[in-house]
Amino acid sequence: MKRALAALTIASLAACSFEPLRAPRVEVPERYTAAPTLTGTASANVPGGDEQRFVAGKDIPADWWTLFRSPALDRLVRDALADSPSIAKVAARLRQAEEDLGARSGATRWPKVDGRFSANRVDADADALGTPALSSALPLNLLLASVSVSYTFDFFGATRNELDALRAEIDFERYQLEGARLTLAANVVTAAIREASLREQIAVTEELADVQARQLRIVERLEQLGTAALTDVVEKRGELADTRASLPALQLSLDQVRHRLAVYTGHAPGSDRLPQFRLSDIALPVELPLGVPSELARRRPDIRAAEALLQQAGAKVGIATANFYPRISLSAQGGSLAANGAALLSGSGAFYLLGASLAQPIFHGQELQARRRAAVAAYEQAAAAYEETVLLGFGNVADTLRALAADAARLQERAAASAHARGSYEIASRRYAAGGVSLLNLLDGERRVHAADILRIQAAADRYADSAALLQALGGGWWTDEGTATAPPRGP
């Protein structure tokens, strides 16, 4: 029997030789896009039309939203970061993870020491027990006080890996918190830009509707005089109705944006504490920091969070591996026993116990092997998720870079169209003053100016929003904030 147990133990230990885990494989490109990265964008002589330059190697400030140079926006973002329930929720998860590590660290790193005290009263019929001599000692008061100490040695890394997994959980929650802060700040910035754009679109649309109403009145008068067809009247009425129909939708979008901004800052949608934004109050960042692709994995909190999950999965593989090996524990207990004032006991009544135990898995029906294979599969899943997150990060930056270039080119064309429409209107104004064109033609030129302005405003707002999207895609500047970053990010 002893030989059989020894053979099984040797076989179990021999089965603990495992292949090393595969590290993630991520191809880091030399540049974000297939085409050479632009150093600057097109420009236009309109608000929001400045040339933007991409500055390689320049760090993003922790309060990156200040690049828009809007004190009201700065205050709103800071209010959101301080009062948002979503941030408070993630911060609480981080504190929970830290306390879990503290609890488990105290339970595994140091010996366990417990004190016990018990008091019991024992009575029995001495004659029935056949020991009449005990009748004088009964009832018996037993008092027991003891202290026990136990400790399990971590020769094969089970405890170490368990603590490493909990530390990785803390890292994950910390990066989740930084990611939530980055996302919230970006949401506030883009919502404020959206609000500013909608306000200007509503103002221009109302002016356009006013021009179209004046045109309609002229055409209706001409139709009554017989110099205009009824179809002209119907066409103008349709144009005016289309323009007026767009106003409720624009106002609804504005209200919804305001509601989102209130929620972002931890207030009810009906709050009146929000400032009103206009594009003229927000500056377009003209210098955008652009790090090299190899630095992106150190700067995006979602990539850092994926890395933490990968480290946690690796630690859990270590735990599953350590379960194949013996566990050695030592224990000691000492105390004192007293009965009826120690009258029945000789000496001091003190006692002690020393013990040691060794537990070696021998046969668990492939349970340990299956659990380790499951841990390895979870690690491989985390590795693939890490690779995917890094690639998606590269894709986000590439998309926003191309979007910024396209936004600048589109605004340049929209600005040119707006300038042409305005130039045509000015010519019509001079001809109208000289009696060369009718008021109807003049109003038609003014209508084209307003229509071109709406498209120009939309194109300018896209540049602002995509500038914020680029700063978010690059990871913001959380790693430069000493108040939130406890240590510089590690490489993957």
Residue 471: partners with Cβ closer than 8 Å, 6 or more residues away: 60, 64, 67, 186, 285, 288, 289
Contact indicator for 411, 456 with CB cutoff of 8 Å: yes
User: How many residues appear in the chain?
Assistant: 492
410-420: pLDDT as tens digits? 999 999 999 99
272-291: pLDDT as tens digits? 788 999 999 999 999 999 88
> In the structure, what pLDDT confidence band is assigned to residue 125 with cuts at 50, 70 and 90?
low
User: What is residue 134's predicted lDDT score, i.e. its pLDDT?
Assistant: 54
Contact indicator for 448, 81 with CB cutoff of 8 Å: no
Q: Lowest-confidence range among 202-216, 307-321, 457-471, 477-491? A: 477-491
Residue recorded with tokens 């879990």: 100
Residue recorded with tokens 């830009």: 193
User: What is residue 56's predicted lDDT score, i.e. its pLDDT?
Assistant: 84
199-234: pLDDT as tens digits? 999 999 999 999 999 989 988 888 888 877 888 889
How many C-alpha atoms does 157 have within 13 Å on its Cβ side? Answer: 13
> In the structure, what pLDDT confidence band is assigned to residue 131 with cuts at 50, 70 and 90?
low
- Looking at per-residue confidence, does 449 or 13 come out higher? 449
> In the structure, what pLDDT confidence band is assigned to residue 168 with cuts at 50, 70 and 90?
very high
User: What is residue 127's predicted lDDT score, i.e. its pLDDT?
Assistant: 61
Pairing of strands 327-339, 140-152: antiparallel
> In the structure, what pLDDT confidence band is assigned to residue 429 with cuts at 50, 70 and 90?
confident
Position 4 in a domain: no
Query: In the chain, what percentage of residues exceed pLDDT 90?
Result: 47
Contact indicator for 41, 275 with CB cutoff of 8 Å: no
Contact indicator for 205, 454 with CB cutoff of 8 Å: yes
Radius of gyration of the chain (CA): 38
- For the record, the structure tokens of 474 come out as 């690059």
Terminal Cα distance for the chain, rounded: 50
User: How far is residue 406's CA from residue 408's CA, in Å, rounded to a whole number?
Assistant: 5
> In the structure, what pLDDT confidence band is assigned to residue 10 with cuts at 50, 70 and 90?
very low
Residue range 449-455: average pLDDT?
A: 93
Position 273 in a domain: yes
Residue 311 confidence (pLDDT) above 90: yes
Number of H helices, E strands in the chain: 10, 6
Specify the number of domains making up the chain: 1
Contact indicator for 472, 182 with CB cutoff of 8 Å: yes
Residue range 265-273: average pLDDT?
A: 85
User: What is residue 5's predicted lDDT score, i.e. its pLDDT?
Assistant: 38
Q: 107: burial class by Cβ within 10 Å (0-12, 13-18, 19+)?
A: exposed
Position 464 in a domain: yes
- Give helix 85-109 / helix 158-225 axis angle, nearest 10°: 170
- Looking at per-residue confidence, does 199 or 340 come out higher? 199
pLDDT, the chain, mean: 84
- Nearest 5°: the CA angle 235, 241, 246 is 135
Position 69 in a domain: yes
Residue range 453-462: average pLDDT?
A: 95
Position 207 in a domain: yes
User: What is residue 334's predicted lDDT score, i.e. its pLDDT?
Assistant: 78
Query: At 417, phi and psi to the nearest 5?
Result: -65, -40
Position 400 in a domain: yes
User: What is residue 126's predicted lDDT score, i.e. its pLDDT?
Assistant: 56
Position 277 in a domain: yes
User: What is residue 341's predicted lDDT score, i.e. its pLDDT?
Assistant: 57
Of 476, 340, 454, the residue nearest 396 (C-alpha): 476
Residue recorded with tokens 């991409």: 54
Position 44 in a domain: yes
Residue 335, helix vs strand vs coil: strand
Residue recorded with tokens 């929650």: 173
User: What is residue 135's predicted lDDT score, i.e. its pLDDT?
Assistant: 58
User: How far is residue 310's CA from residue 305's CA, in Å, rounded to a whole number?
Assistant: 9
- Looking at per-residue confidence, does 411 or 484 come out higher? 411
Q: Where are the alpha helices (DSSP H) in 265-366?
A: 293-299, 301-322
> In the structure, what pLDDT confidence band is assigned to residue 74 with cuts at 50, 70 and 90?
very high
Residue range 106-134: average pLDDT?
A: 71
Residue 340 confidence (pLDDT) above 90: no
User: What is residue 124's predicted lDDT score, i.e. its pLDDT?
Assistant: 62
Residue 250, helix vs strand vs coil: helix
Of 169, 381, 477, the residue nearest 489 (C-alpha): 477
367-382: pLDDT as tens digits? 888 888 899 999 999 9
Residue range 160-180: average pLDDT?
A: 93
User: How far is residue 61's CA from residue 81's CA, in Å, rounded to a whole number?
Assistant: 16
Q: Which domain holds residue 476?
A: 34-111+156-326+368-480
- Nearest 5°: the CA angle 100, 101, 102 is 90
Q: Rounded to whole angstroms, what are the CA distances from 259 to 65, 82, 225, 256, 265?
A: 21, 18, 50, 5, 10
CATH number at residue 93: 1.20.1600.10
